Amino acid sequence: MNFHTILVGDDGTPEAEGAVAVAMSLGEKLGARVILLGVLPPPSAESQAEGYGLTSSSHGRKKLQEQLERTAQTGRQSGIDVAVEIVEGMAEPSIETTAQRTGADLIVVGRRHISRIRHWLEGSTSESLVRRCPVSVLVVHDAENTSRASRTPSQTASSPRSKLSDT
């Protein structure tokens, strides 16, 4: 299977930054178009009622737009066909809708490491996309947790974190 259009979700977090790096690398190697999708959560009713939602939303959009444009420009200088889109909404349905609309055949997302309670309350965008999305989904784990998972038992036993947990 060859991928022609790669959609990568970016909310400005370090996890999303890792996903963008992987998507750009794949785009360059495969000659695929990369769509950087910035997803802004909708302002809460409380913040809008207090007058905070409109200014923080437009400031957040501008900041994310600037960040995505810088990333896109770097990709273009490497010969990658990069497009930038920003949408407002919940991450999972926004990514899925954009993938369908643009004909993306691969979605790349980062994975946050959150507490079990928060996971239970909020769910996981990456898990939901893997389960529901009709196109391939690549989930990029952050470097710290990836390197920790790939350590041998002797490396893990000698790490400072494991010594703290043994006490």
- CATH number of the CATH domain containing 118: 3.40.50.620
Picking from 10, 153, 120, 152, the residue whose alpha carbon sits closest to that of residue 70 is 10
Provide the residue range defining the domain that includes 139: 5-166
Residues 94, 88: Cα–Cα separation, whole Å: 8
| pLDDT at residue 91 tops 80 | yes
Mean pLDDT on 149-156: 39
Helix %, strand %, coil % for the chain, to 5?
A: 55, 20, 25
Number of domains in the chain: 1
The pair of three-digit structure tokens given for residue 138, joined into one six-digit string: 């690549």
Average pLDDT, whole number, for the chain?
76
**Residue with the two structure tokens 């979700």:** 9
Residues 138, 140: Cα–Cα separation, whole Å: 6
pTM over 0.85: no
